[in-house]
């Protein structure tokens, strides 16, 4: 069974940093591109970043470019999102998501990031 489990969220002050993790199991992690998607309270879904299966290529939304870094460890089967220079508008639930081809999309349950003083 495919499982994606996010962790690392919490309360952080503006300008602070946080690293999110997404632990994967039930599939060959190193074969799939993985995405981060966020959802601000009461708002819709917004794509944040994605990383290629071998980590050689990354892409970011303009709103986080230069502040967030996506990475992965294909030995530990874990995806990361390093978030620096956090702003109030980064407050959101953060989900990792993976397209499994013929099986469709798989999402984690999310981890909440709150940026507030």
User: Of these, 46, 53, 55, 74, which contacts another protein (CB under 8 A)?
Assistant: 46
Considering the complex, what minimum distance in angstroms separates the CB of residue 104 from another protein?
4
Considering the complex, what minimum distance in angstroms separates the CB of residue 28 from another protein?
19
Per CB under 8 A, 108 contacts another protein? yes
Considering the complex, what minimum distance in angstroms separates the CB of residue 15 from another protein?
26
Nearest to 15 by CA among 83, 82, 66, 63: 83
E runs forming strands in 3-116: 3-7, 10-12, 18-25, 34-39, 45-51, 58-60, 68-73, 78-83, 92-99, 105-107, 111-115
Per CB under 8 A, 83 contacts another protein? no
Q: Which is nearer to another protein, 56 or 117 (CB)?
A: 56
Residues 6+ apart with CB under 8 A from 44: none
User: Of these, 47, 54, 65, 87, which contacts another protein (CB under 8 A)?
Assistant: 47
């Amino acid at each position: 069974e495919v499982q994606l489990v996010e962790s690392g969220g919490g309360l952080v002050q503006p300008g602070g940093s946080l690293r999110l993790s997404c632990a994967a199991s039930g599939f060959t992690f190193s074969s799939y591109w993985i995405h981060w998607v966020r959802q601000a309270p009461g708002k819709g879904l917004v794509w944040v970043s994605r990383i290629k299966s071998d980590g050689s290529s990354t892409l970011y939304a303009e709103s986080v470019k230069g502040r967030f870094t996506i990475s992965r460890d294909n030995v530990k089967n874990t995806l990361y999102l390093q978030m620096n220079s956090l702003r109030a508008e980064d407050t959101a639930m953060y989900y990792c998501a993976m397209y499994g081809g013929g099986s469709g999309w798989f999402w984690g349950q999310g981890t909440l990031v709150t940026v507030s003083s």
